[in-house]
Amino acid sequence: MDILQQLNSAPVYLICGLIVAFVAAVCVVFMVRAWRAGIAIGMDKTKMKRAITASATFSVLPSVGILLGVIALSGSLGTPWPWLRLSVIGALHYETQVAQAAAEQVGMGTLSAASMTPSGFATIALLMSVCIMWGMVLSVFFNKRYTRKLGAGSGEGKGGGFGDLAMTAMFIGLVSAYIGSYVGGFVSGGGLFTFGGDWTPLVVVAAACLAMAGFMVLSEKKKMAWLDSFSIAGSMIVGMAAAVLAGAMA
């Protein structure tokens, strides 16, 4: 049995599947508790349903993108481990980088099934877990203290202060950093001010932006409020379609 067959064997699927099932159960528990608490404090059920619908539609396309990460890593690490990593705790941009760095550290040179050994795999898998576990560790020790200090989740806040605006500003900063990186990638990605870098992300941003503007007009001005729950997913589809067109033109 070669290494990929071993990594794709039933016992490995079982180990990874049990952990994924545990985390899915945790999500269900948190969801049910939040729903019940929402009703107990008098929240509007329609609002909660809307949040669930919007979050579900929002998450489908990024999840398919994450699935591609599983496929990409499955050639060297088998399917169950990347499936576990990207279902639980992992991050798409992180896994490949750390797996590659770990492969170099265990003397494999490059991450590939050809040079993978059972010990190499176990070492890489452990390193991937150790490197990204700190957010969870910090949550265990500091989430309670931190959220109470901020007043978030205490239920005592009335909202509407600077905290709310600060969160919006932080998110604007996040989006600006990424869009700035696409601008920089295009202008200087192929050499300083050569405008020879990848322009596809900028086309995608513009297309998704325009589509969102269209959705907002429809939902706000044409009284089609139900569209709002699908506006992000719809805009993303338009943006991704623009990427396909840009790819065909390139």
Partner 1 sequence: MNETFERYNRRTHIIGRAVTVATLIMLLGAPFCIGGVLGAMPDLGAVARAFLSVGLVWTVSSVVEFLVYTPMLGAGGGYLAFITGNLINMKIPCAVNARDMVGAKTGTAENEIISTLSIATSSLVTILVLALGVLLLAPLQPVLQSPVLRPAFDNVVPALFGAMAYRYYRRNMDIALTPLVLMSALFIFVPSLTGSTSFMVIPSGGIAIAIAYLLYKKGRKGASN
Residues between 71 and 110 with contacts to partner 1, criterion CB under 8 A: 71, 74, 79-81, 83-84, 86-94, 97-98, 101-102, 105-106
Q: Give the separation between CA 55 and CA 230, rounded to whole angstroms.
A: 9
**Helix count and strand count (H, E) for the chain:** 10, 0
- Smallest gap from residue 232 Cβ to partner 1 (A): 5
Place of tokens 């989430």: 143
Q: Identify residues 114-143 at the interface with partner 1 (CB under 8 A).
A: 117-119, 121-123, 125-127, 129-140, 142-143
Taking only Cα atoms into account, the Rg of the chain, rounded to an integer number of angstroms, comes to: 22
CA distance 237 to 21: 30
What is the distance between the alpha carbons of residues 31 and 227, in angstroms, rounded to a whole number? 24
Only one residue has tokens 């150790």, namely 130
Of the two residues 65 and 112, which places its CB atom closer to partner 1 in the complex? 65
Q: Looking at beta carbons only, is 160 or 222 nearer to partner 1?
A: 160
Q: How far is the CB of 198 from partner 1 (least distance, A)?
A: 9
Rounded-to-integer distance, Cα 237 and Cα 231, Å: 10
Q: Any idea what DSSP says for residue 109?
A: S
Is 43 a binding residue for partner 1 by CB under 8 A? The answer is: yes
**Least distance from partner 1 to the Cβ atom of residue 109, Å:** 14
226 forms part of the interface with partner 1 (CB under 8 A): no
Q: Which amino acid is at 62?
A: P
* Residue 196 contacts partner 1 per CB under 8 A: no
Contact 89, 136 (CB under 8 A): yes
CB of 79 vs partner 1, minimal distance in Å? 6
Kindly tell me which residue out of 38, 113, 218, 230 binds partner 1, with binding defined by CB under 8 A: 38
Q: Return the residues of window 176-195 that contact partner 1 according to CB under 8 A.
A: 176-185, 187-189, 192-193
Answer yes or no whether residue 5 interacts with partner 1 by CB under 8 A.
no
User: Rounded to 5 degrees, what angle do the CA atoms 11, 110, 191 make?
Assistant: 135
Of 149-168, which residues contact partner 1 (CB under 8 A)? Answer: 150-168
- Distant-in-sequence, close-in-space partners of 134: CB < 8 Å, separation ≥ 6: none
Output 112 or 206, the one with its CB closest to partner 1: 206
Q: Which is nearer to partner 1, 76 or 90 (CB)?
A: 90
